[in-house]
A and B are shown apart, each in its own frame.
Chain A
Amino acid sequence: MRRRDSHHTPGAAEPEDAIGGAGSEIDLAKAEGETLEGREAPPRGLWADAWHDLRRRPIFIISALLIVFLVVISLWPSLIATRDPLDCRLARSLDGPTAGHWFGFDTQGCDVYTRTVYGARASVAVGVCATIGVALLGSLFGGLAGFFGGVWDALLSRITDIFFGIPLILGALVFLAMITVEGIWPVVAVITLLAWPQIARISRGAVLTAKQHDYVQAARALGASNTRMLLRHILPNAVAPVIVVATIALGTYIALEATLSFLAVGLKPPTVSWGVDISIASSGMQFRNAPHILLYPAGALSVTVLAFIMLGDAVRDALDPKLR
């Protein structure tokens, strides 16, 4: 039988669940070790338990492998694409697939396969950097609001509401149209600046729940400092829901980058990115007689977004005992 530490439950844990705090758990583990030694595996923590569960899920394995593959080709695209993504010859504009060029050529006569492979880098970089920024900023604001409460909570929550009130694409469009810097960094900065309230709200809730538990109260009674309580007791128990939402959000930020590039304010040529290529392919319906110039980058983009959403979904299911 699988035992679960109730105080690790992400999200809402009922107060009565929290009675078995850290102390009783150790006693139980000891007792089990003495009497049931060799017959039952030792109790696992939240993450080990989730990992045990995840290893058996095909969806998790598929999406994790896909993500590893994407990260590898965005770091070393030349591993699977030997040509230059900027080697374009108008003579072969919109040509279909040939022996050496399986995906055909785009309007400028660039190799679509090479560009699709190289396009992963910009998308993954924007997704990962923006997610790190959002997660840090959001947990900082949400965590502090939840932990200190009172005036701090009121103030930080209102600031969160202010940024939450600006729809993401809208704010990003207004901001990016004003910024003249090129490249991925303005896109990353704008997503970070506008998307953190989502994480802040979640981490505030998680910290509020974690703060109620007996082991945190006990730590406070023992005279633990605020820093110690936050880092040692609350953070490990509040981080699970943030990681789940951040994984799913990573996928949506990649889609957002492509959308902004489509609106001509995100990445711009000569940066090689799926968003840029889709944008070029769809402007004036250039894909009309050459669907490959739209379908390959769009397919790569969708599969990437899907991989991150499925991974986040699988991790959430594994972390949530209610769904067992």
Chain B
Amino acid sequence: MGRYVIRRLLQMIPVFIGTTFLIFVMVYALGDPVAALFGDRTPDPATAARLRAEFDLDKPLWQQYLLYMGKIFTGDFGTAFNGQPVIELMANAFPVSFRLMLIAIGFEIVIGITLGVVSGLRKGGGIDSTVLLLSLVVIAIPTFVTGVLAQFVFGVQLGWVSPAVSPAAPFGELLLPGLILALVSLAYVTRLTRTSVAENVRADYIRTAIAKGLPRSRITTRHLLRNSLIPVVTYLGVDIGALMAGALVTERIFNIPGVGYQLYQGVLRQNSPTVVGFVTILVLVFLLANLIVDLLYAVLDPRIRYA
């Protein structure tokens, strides 16, 4: 196990370098951050040159990348063009987005798995058909449409929640945005759990458990669920990436001052240090989530052994 973890961590290094370099090239080679700083005006050549030197933008791209990466490891993510250190922006944004993601994953696990198990156990029945159809409809409606509609209906017309989240973004106000963020993945979790449960419910070990006279609840939770959740856990790991990206849309609709919001502002204003910094952290989170999922495999399925 220990050796496997080390090998996986080593494999992550080239992927991490590759992904961050790709983003770096996108932001610094395609865009011109200094020109963006001046907006619509033509930059004064002397000032532009001074700024380029200050932000190391006059060096070749690979050198800029190495300098940047070197700084990151000392905790210096550079300064946004408005003078605020990027790390400060992160310290404000990440806890908010983390709360949002926790709520979304919570919804996915509680509602998604429950619906999946219920419909998987009664495959072909009325509940099953309804859940299947509903999940397809939910998947087909893009998040930004459900988000805008939910904000209007619950926030403006019914007044149950405030349409925009306050800067502190407490848990209660994030419930509706979290549900919207989770919806599409929730539908996938439901479908995945359903298929998996429906397949496993016919397995020999379930028949054995029934023959032994075990109570139904124990069969469902200990035997059936544990085996059926393996693909769901994989999906949740990959989904963290989708949630982080999906938060861009949700945070924009509900005005949540999280990672997606900062990133969106950074991208539109070509605030390169902000964009590269945030994306680097997100990529790291995504890679680690995938590693943890692979390790969880071994816990859930004793047949899988990592040498």
Contacts and interface: CB of A to CB of B under 8 A. Distances in A.
Contacts of B18: 158-159, 161-162, 165
Contacts of A175: 26, 30
B299 interface: no
B300 interface: no
Given A158-B14, A158-B15, A169 B140 contact: no
Contact of B283 (A166, A169, A305, A313): A166
B161 interface: no
A169 B148 contact: no
A193 to B, nearest CB: 10
Interface string B240-266: 011011101100100000000001100
Contacts of A165: 15-16, 18-19, 241, 283, 286-287
Contacts of B287: 165
B252 to A, nearest CB: 7
B270 A177 contact: yes
Contacts of A278: 144-145
A54 interface: no
Contacts of B270: 177-178
Interface stretch (A207-215, A231-239, A282-290): A282-290
Given A285-B156, A301-B145, A170 B19 contact: no
B111 interface: no
A301 B142 contact: yes
A167 interface: yes
Contacts of A298: 141-142, 145
Nearest to B144: A262
A305 B143 CA distance: 13
A251 interface: yes
A25 B14 CA distance: 46
Contact of B267 (A166, A177, A285): A177
B59 to A, nearest CB: 20
A168 B249 CA distance: 13
Contacts of A309: 136, 139-140
Nearest to A278: B145
Chain A: interface size category: 35 or more
A258 B144 CA distance: 9
A70 interface: no
A306 B145 CA distance: 14
Given A162-B19, A177-B270, A255 B244 contact: no
A168 B282 CA distance: 12
A165 B280 CA distance: 10
Chain B: interface size category: 35 or more
Contact of B249 (A262, A294, A305): A262
A168 B245 CA distance: 7
B65 to A, nearest CB: 14
Contacts of A259: 142-144, 249
B245 A263 contact: no
B27 A287 contact: no
Given A259-B143, A259-B144, A167 B15 contact: no
Interface string B127-170: 00000000011011111110011001000100000000000000
Determine chain B's interface SS by DSSP, over half rule. Answer: helix
A174 interface: yes
Contacts of B145: 278, 282, 294, 298, 301-302
Contacts of A310: 136
A258 B275 CA distance: 23
B110 interface: no
A174 B23 contact: yes
A163 B15 CA distance: 9
Given A165-B15, A259-B143, A278-B145, A170 B244 contact: yes
Contacts of B245: 167-170
A179 interface: yes
A173 B152 CA distance: 25
A121 B248 CA distance: 27
A161 B245 CA distance: 17
A128 B231 CA distance: 29
Interface string B259-295: 0000110011010000100010011001100000000
A169 B30 contact: no
A259 B249 CA distance: 8
B142 A251 contact: no
Given A285-B156, A288-B152, A309-B136, A161 B142 contact: no
B31 interface: yes
B46 interface: no
A303 interface: yes
B6 interface: no
B113 to A, nearest CB: 21
A166 B141 contact: no
A285 B253 CA distance: 11
B136 A170 contact: no
Given A263-B252, A305-B140, A177 B282 contact: no
B22 interface: yes
A302 B142 contact: yes
Contacts of B283: 165-166
Contacts of A264: 268
Contacts of A166: 19, 22-23, 279, 283
Given A169-B245, A174-B275, A263-B248, 6 more contacts: A170-B244, A174-B267, A178-B30, A179-B30, A259-B142, A282-B144
The 7 closest A-B pairs by CB, nearest first: A167-B245, A162-B18, A306-B140, A178-B30, A165-B19, A169-B245, A282-B148
Interface of B: 11, 14-16, 18-19, 22-23, 26-27, 30-31, 136-137, 139-145, 148-149, 152, 156, 241-242, 244-246, 248-249, 252, 263-264, 267-268, 270, 275, 279, 282-283, 286-287
